[in-house]
Amino acid sequence: MNTSKTHSDSFNEEGILAVDRSFRIMSSNGAAERLLAIALHPGDPFQPAGIWPEPLANRITDLLRQTLQTGASHPQVLLPLANAELVGTIQPLFERPESVIGAIMSFQVASHRRSALYHDARRAKSEGVLQHLQNQNLFEALPEGVFTINTHWYIESFNHRAEEITGYQREEVIGRHCWEIFRSDLCQLGCPLRTALESGLTSMDQDVRILKKGGKRQTILVNAGVLRTATGKIRGAVETFRPLAGEAYFNGLEGENVAFAKIIGAAKPMQRIFEMLPDIAASDANVLITGESGTGKDLIARTIHDLSSRADKPYVAVNCSALAETLLESELFGHEKSAFTGATGTKIGRFELAKGGTLFLDEIGELRPELQIKLLRVLENHEFERVGGARTLPMEARIISATNKDLRQALRGGLFREDFYYRLRTVPLAIPPLRERVEDVPLLVEFFLKRFNQRYKKRVMSVHPEVMQMFMQYAWPGNVRELERTLEHAYVFVKGPIIMPANLPAAEEFQGNTISAASSAPGQINRQAIDWALLRANGNRLEAARMLGLSRTTLWRHMKQLGIV
């Protein structure tokens, strides 16, 4: 490790360190190693007790644990060392609103040690490129696309996953305005980065449609937040993004208007939904989509929009659980200048952004009763006013809402208004959990193997029969999203062409959370699943039966019933 930097040089450095939920190092930059005077290797445990004395080390550990468990941020954390006084921040790293996957520590020498001249130099430097190479090293370890901008909206860092999703190489985007690259339908109005910079808060899981290099459209889910210096000053913003979870389950080509039938789902419950979708899309009635987390409710909402006559109009998504209650009304309706403290200008809300198109209200069950009343009036009168405004605006968007909560139980508990509930569910649509369409598991596994082979440049051909049997019997409480994450975890550790049980995360969970005998009874397996297993087993019925979690005689009976020779 190079320690040749002078003490004065260290004033200019900002250490950045990311740890996962197990306190293992995800990534770090060289400044972090120099300031802490230790080597930091990805995968190694991060041990504050090896850096700071015990009382302080315990406090830092507690702050990190709070961030990992609750998503809380901690500004102005004092981190004194024997040879330097450091001050820093601890911020959460989100995968999705309910899932914190890590924590980021940033720190530098305490500001009171610097001269006035240094303050001026630092201020000037913040208007230029903000250490994008250091950020790049940190964000390269993340599984999502990540880019950062400075306060002048110039892109400073762009990780490898961002290159894969957008089609742009890093050298093509560094130093350019972000809107030149992403060309999103929300770049001018409703930009998540602008929301983060103006409010100082994190914008979570916003649905954005971008143009990839070459002109193909891609829908991504965006998280955006501000970047601060160790002293708390906003120095720019960071955005993480990933392809819309639902779009990953298409067999069609990106950018094409693929039909709903291309969604992976051969089970009867999914086929019944497919039969309903054209009629639902042709209507302007409000739709309430229910289903457990990870079942693809956002995919169904997007598909309804794409099949409708509104397909060429905006599709605007709002995650009602990801925004602070004080901001949600402003996000939906917009606000006028000076409507409240911090409202420095007029803001257009999501209702206006979705004009002529579709407004998707995800996690609608999280709305507090007062806001339910206001939304009910909008649905009934088809008009609204901006916060702090007097002008009435027409509501010209179709409303599709979704929830993973039991709203009937919320009705009984007085947490959800009955009139609002029935206004939302003109057309109810229930998405089955994966455990109720277990025959789709082999098809999804096949799809994800192809996808991860491309992403990780590996040639995994299949999963071991024992793994497939575990998958077929597992209850999948996280549904398709959990299956995807499980296989992605396996790709980190698999060495050969077959995913083995040892490559899975906590394999004992698959034995402890199985589908009941009643719900996994024979009769649930369809022709596509059997064809898949026989192909993988080269026609060996015993091995194919093991893959499907069946006995050989049960598989043979299904084959006879379906006319499979």
Give me the residues of the chain with pLDDT under 50, please.
1-10, 112-134, 245-262, 516-522
**Which residue intervals of the chain bear CATH 3.40.50.300?**
246-432
User: ∠ CA 333-337-338 to the nearest 5 degrees?
Assistant: 110
Q: Which of 133, 183, 193, 185 is nearest to 158 (CA)?
A: 133
Within 10 Å of residue 303's Cβ, how many Cβ atoms? 24
Tokens 């491309």, residue located: 454
Secondary structure in 3-state letters for 306-371? HHCCCCCCCEEEEECCCCCHHHHHHHHHEECCCCCCCCCCCEECHHHHCCCCEEEEECHHHCCHHH
Q: First and final CA of the chain: distance in angstroms?
A: 65
The Cα 279–Cα 277 span in angstroms is 6
Tokens 């379906």, residue located: 562
Task: Determine the pLDDT at residue 257.
Answer: 33
Task: Determine the pLDDT at residue 515.
Answer: 66
Task: Determine the pLDDT at residue 215.
Answer: 77
pLDDT digits (tens, 9 = 90+) for 451-460: 888 888 888 8
Task: Determine the pLDDT at residue 512.
Answer: 61
Q: Which of 368, 461, 482 is nearest to 416 (CA)?
A: 368
Structure tokens at 425: 């569910």
Alpha carbon dihedral 111, 117, 122, 125, in 10-degree steps, equals 180
Structure tokens at 365: 């069950």
The Cα 256–Cα 526 span in angstroms is 29
Task: Determine the pLDDT at residue 266.
Answer: 78
Task: Determine the pLDDT at residue 243.
Answer: 77
Is residue 68 within 8 A of residue 100, CB to CB? The reply is yes
CA distances from 531 to 469, 563, 564 (A): 16, 11, 8
Secondary structure in 3-state letters for 446-497? HHHHHHHHHHHCCCCCEECHHHHHHHHHECCCCHHHHHHHHHHHHHHHCCCC
Task: Determine the pLDDT at residue 468.
Answer: 86
CATH code of 435-562, in short, is 1.10.8.60
Secondary structure in 3-state letters for 419-445? HHHHHHCCEEEECCCHHHCHHHHHHHH
β-sheet bridge partners, residue 18:
27, 104
Pairing mode of beta strands 203-211, 217-228:
antiparallel
Task: Catalogue the E-assigned strands of 71-164.
Answer: 74-80, 85-96, 99-109, 145-150, 155-158
Task: Determine the pLDDT at residue 253.
Answer: 30
What is the fold of 129-243?
Answer: Beta-Lactamase (3.30.450)
**Which residue intervals of the chain bear CATH 3.30.450.20?**
1-114, 129-243
Q: Which residues contact 512 (CB under 8 A, 6 or more apart)?
A: none
- Tallying the residues shown for the chain, one arrives at 565
In three-state secondary structure terms, 90 is: strand
Task: Determine the pLDDT at residue 528.
Answer: 65
Q: Could you say which DSSP state residue 231 is in? A: T
Question: What's the pTM?
Answer: 0.54
CA distances from 233 to 111, 146, 229, 325, 523 (A): 12, 21, 5, 25, 61
The Cα 223–Cα 408 span in angstroms is 31
Q: Convert 39-50 to b/e letters by CB count within 10 Å (16 or more is b).
A: ebeeeeebebee
Superfamily of domain 246-432 in CATH is P-loop containing nucleotide triphosphate hydrolases (3.40.50.300)
**Which residue intervals of the chain bear CATH 1.10.8.60?**
435-562
Its sign, for the CA torsion 244, 246, 249, 252, is negative
What is the fold of 1-114?
Answer: Beta-Lactamase (3.30.450)
β-sheet bridge partners, residue 263:
250
- Helix (H) or strand (E) segment spanning residue 210: strand 203-211
